[in-house]
Amino acid sequence: MSYRVVIPRSIPFGESNRVQQAVWKRGYSTRIAGRDAALPDRVVVEFLRVVDELPEPGDVPGLEQDLERLLSGSRINAPFQGSGGWVETVQNRPARKRTA
C-alpha cells in the first residue's frame, strides 16, 4: 500500500497551468480542487506526493515547507495562499488487461 500526501494551495487562475507544469518536473502530481470560495480569481490546486511508507505526523509539515520553498523560489515564483495538508491511502491495483 502507498500513501499520498495532499497539500492544497490557492494560486491565481492565470498562473495555474504554468505552476502545475513546473512542479510536475520536480516530482509532484496535481489535481484541481476547484475555485477558491473566498477569492474567485484563484483556483485551489492540490499538490500530491506519493510515498511508500506512512509519514510521521511531523513529516507532513516538512513536505509543506519543501513545496512552499519550491513555489516561492526564483524558477516558479508563484503567489500562493493556504496551509495544511493530509495523507490519503492509495490502493495499488494490478494493471488492467486490454482487450483488442
Say what the pLDDT of residue 78 is: 87
Q: Which of 4, 60, 1, 7 is nearest to 33 (CA)?
A: 7
**Given a cut of 70, is residue 95 above it in pLDDT?**
no
Say what the pLDDT of residue 1 is: 80
Q: How confident is the model at residue 75 (pLDDT cuts 50, 70, 90)?
A: confident
For range 50-61, the mean pLDDT = 89
Say what the pLDDT of residue 100 is: 62
Q: Which of 56, 48, 57 is nearest to 26 (CA)?
A: 48
pTM for the model stands at 0.84
Cell 513529516 appears where? Answer: 59
For range 69-83, the mean pLDDT = 90
